[in-house]
Amino acid sequence: MLNQKDIISTLQMVREENLDLRTVTVGINLTDCVSDDIGRFKRNIYDKILKHAGQLVTTCQRIERRYGIEVANKRISISPIGVVAAPFSTEQMVDIALTLDHAANELGIDFIGGFSALVEKGISRGDQALISAIPEALTQSKRVCASVNVASTRAGLNMDAINQMGQVIKQAAQLTAENDGLAAAKLVVFANIPQDVPFMAGAYLGIGEADAVVSVGVSGPGVVKAALQRALEEEEKLDLSRAADVIKQTAARLTRAGELVGREVASSLGLPFGIVDLSLAPTPNENDSVGEIFEAIGLPAIGAPGSTAFLAMLNDAVKKGGAFASSHVGGLSGAFIPVCEDLTIARSASNRTLSLEKLEAMTAVCSVGLDMVALPGDTSAEMLSAIIADEMAIGVINKKTTAARLIPVPGKQAGDQVFFGGLLGEGPIMAVNMGNQENRFVRLGGRIPAPTQSLVN
């Protein structure tokens, strides 16, 4: 039961600490839209998306007015197109992406995710057609996002797929050179991808999900930062155990607020409620940055020694608080550390407090991985694949989700700035050690076997 202190605290989160709901996502299962006729398939998916998400934007706007909590993004996730559109060619896959973009534009939503393939153990014909179509699909569309799962703890690392993804990322960036390689910012490479991620660019609706379902992703780094600052001011002997407890309690309140709004949207749309993703998702705005939490606890900046230890504590505390507050937690659930989307992280990368190597080390304990990392335009496709392989190995060995969203920005060098706008933000180009040299390791291809589940050390 909520007491007076809880109610006042929630009102304070909304009015003063930038609490919003990062996203409401309608997941739509497209398996019953399958056809070997491209025209019929496009009509089927267009009609089903409009049927289930036609009122998404107006419903969110009505609930925003009712509760005073902003829904930052309204999104759709769909079944992986590599599966449901398996009969079609690369050119037809691009055509399908444009149909998805048309539906998203018609509904006024921000992004549609699920132009995706799951190839951790092998690449089917449909998956190959989709992977080959990604550069053109993301260049010609505005709202479509893509993801490819190339590794898992049970299957190991598919190095053939990882090798291809380095080339795909490079091509996507080059096709959108006039926009700092924007197409690459809408593409994520995953290990151990969950089936119910409401966050872009990795959102898709897994095979084991319902026909249509509503999920939410909470935000709230500004709320966590303010809670820590208050506790430090009020409690002279506050230690890290107590700080973890403050984060845990704050995460519980964030989760309750998020689930309240999500269930209201689901009820209004006549759809079941899915999950709450607990991830602390940053913005490029002041007082709403994950990096500011690091500074609030006493670190000089994110990337300084101690950052990995605090990030591990932060992630664990957020998960414990969220799990207490909701019985339906899923997705990624932790803290994102995307460079270009977070004001303070971008600042640390600019002044080189945060290097690519330190960022990679921190991804061993964070929610996602190397997220929104802009790299020099002359970084070779082989070196991109090698960076991806390193990140995937961290996820596979540690039995967690990791991802790489890398943007080799054409014509720019380490230290230059990139500008994407909106939640994608802006940030510096990070240096890559030996980035423009060949890397024969990734050319070998094949699969790195799955790790043993025993003999742990």
The mean pLDDT value for 83-91 works out to: 96
| pLDDT at residue 9, as a whole number | 64
Q: How does DSSP assign 232-271, residue by residue?
A: HHH-TT--HHHHHHHHHHHHHHHHHHHHHHHHHHHHHHT-
Confidence of residue 421 (pLDDT cuts 50, 70, 90): confident
pLDDT of res. 454: 82
Tell me: pLDDT of 78 over 90. yes
Report cis status (omega within 30 of 0) of the bond before 281: no
- How high is the pLDDT of residue 407? 97
Q: Above 80 in pLDDT, residue 19?
A: no
Of the two residues 412 and 323, the one the predictor is more confident about is 412
- Tell me whether strands 273-277 and 329-330 are parallel, antiparallel or unpaired: parallel
Q: Which pLDDT score is estimated for 17?
A: 64
Residues 311-337: what's their mean pLDDT?
Answer: 86
Question: How far is 232 from 259, CA to CA, in rounded Å?
Answer: 29
Using CA atoms, how far apart are residues 38 and 45, in angstroms rounded to an integer? 11
Using the 8-state DSSP alphabet, how is residue 437 labeled?
S
* 4-191 and 220-247+279-324+331-443 in the same fold: yes
pLDDT of residue 196: 84
The pLDDT value given to residue 433: 87
If you average pLDDT over residues 355-378, what whole number do you get?
92
Residue 116 parent element (H or E): strand 111-118
Mean pLDDT computed over 172-176:
97
Indicate the pTM of the whole model: 0.93
- Report the chain's mean pLDDT, rounded to a whole number: 90
Q: Which tokens go with 433?
A: 């050690």
pLDDT band of 160, cuts 50, 70, 90: very high
Which residues neighbour 12 within 8 Å (Cβ) at sequence distance 6 or greater? none
Look at residue 204 in the predicted model and tell me its pLDDT: 92
Average pLDDT of the segment spanning 8-20? 65
Q: Which residue has the higher pLDDT, 378 or 437?
A: 378
Average pLDDT over residues 76-89: 95
What average pLDDT does range 76-92 have in this prediction?
96
CATH placement of domain 4-191: 3.20.70.20
Q: Provide the pLDDT for residue 436.
A: 81
Residue 307: predicted pLDDT:
95
Phi, psi angles (nearest 5°) of residue 280 = -80, 105
Per-residue pLDDT tens for 283-300? 777 777 888 999 999 999
Beta strands in 153-262, from DSSP E residues, in sequence order = 156-158, 187-191, 212-218
Q: Among 90-94, 145-149, 260-264, 291-295, whose mean pLDDT is lowest? A: 260-264
Q: What is the pLDDT of residue 7?
A: 58
Q: Is the pLDDT of residue 154 over 90?
A: yes
**217 falls in which pLDDT band (50, 70, 90)?**
confident
Spans of all domains in the chain: 4-191, 220-247+279-324+331-443
Does the structure show a pLDDT above 90 at 313?
yes
Worst-scoring range by mean pLDDT, 67-81, 138-152, 328-342? 328-342
Lowest mean pLDDT among 116-130, 178-192, 419-433: 419-433
Q: What per-residue confidence (pLDDT) applies to 21?
A: 80
CATH class for the domain made up of 220-247+279-324+331-443 = alpha beta
322 has a pLDDT exceeding 60: yes
What is the reported pLDDT for 221?
85
pLDDT of residue 368: 80
Judge whether residue 149 has pLDDT over 60.
yes
Q: How many CB atoms lie within 10 A of CB 397?
A: 13
| Percentage of the chain exceeding pLDDT 90 | 65
Looking at residue 51, what is its pLDDT? 95
Task: Over range 100-112, report the average pLDDT.
Answer: 95
Which comes out higher in pLDDT, residue 39 or 4? 39
pLDDT given for residue 67 in this prediction: 80
Q: Could you tell me which of 430, 425, 437 has the C-alpha nearest to residue 413?
A: 430
Res. 209: pLDDT tops 90: no
